[in-house]
Amino acid sequence: KPVGGIGRPMSDTPYGVEISAFFSPTGMVCSEPPYGMMSAIDLHTKKILWQKPLGSAERNGPFNMATHLPINIGTPNNGGPIITAGGVIFVAATTDNKIRAIDLKTGKELWSDTLPAGGQATPMTYSINGEQYLVIMAGGHHFMGTGVSDALVAYKLPKNIK
């Protein structure tokens, strides 16, 4: 698309890019759920260990109205996961503004929390004096429709998560 039209300018070119899902007039994605998945793959055998939809319908619905239903439909995702040495995945890429802890071996959700805006970023962990912390920039994302924020959210992890 031309830079003067809708879209994001591309450096050193007279063009821009627009990235979006294919939505119906009702504001719903034009395909069946799940719209986003979390998969664990054994890199030695190349076999899928488990695969589950990632993201609930709480903030999604027809005509851009939130359903408030905690149904795990697998929402569009934008942001990466991290994995701790103890086998816990942390991910916050969904449109429901949640950050989740998932068991690497089983795919079971261990914990979640609602962020002040979308967590379309990869979380990180660090430790200070033997205490481990989880941090995520919950800045939101225009394409994901998760609002905008300047919130940097930190959690102190329990001692049994490494």
Integer angstrom CA distances of residue 126 from 42, 75, 111, 121: 26, 28, 19, 16
Please provide the size of the chain in residues. Answer: 162
What are the residue boundaries of the structural domains of the chain, listed by start? 1-31, 32-156
What's the CA gap between 109 and 92, in Å, rounded?
12
Tokens 């190349």 found at: 46
At the second CATH level, the architecture of 32-156 is Beta Barrel (2.40)
The string of pLDDT tens digits covering residues 104-153 is 999 999 999 999 998 999 999 999 999 999 999 998 887 677 888 999 99
User: Would strands 124-128 and 148-156 be described as parallel, antiparallel, or unpaired?
Assistant: unpaired
Quote the mean pLDDT of the chain. Answer: 85
2 pLDDT above the threshold of 50:
no
Banded model confidence at residue 76, pLDDT cuts 50, 70, 90: confident
161 pLDDT above the threshold of 70:
no
What's the CA gap between 39 and 43, in Å, rounded?
12
Of 39-43, 66-70, 111-115, least confident by mean pLDDT is 66-70
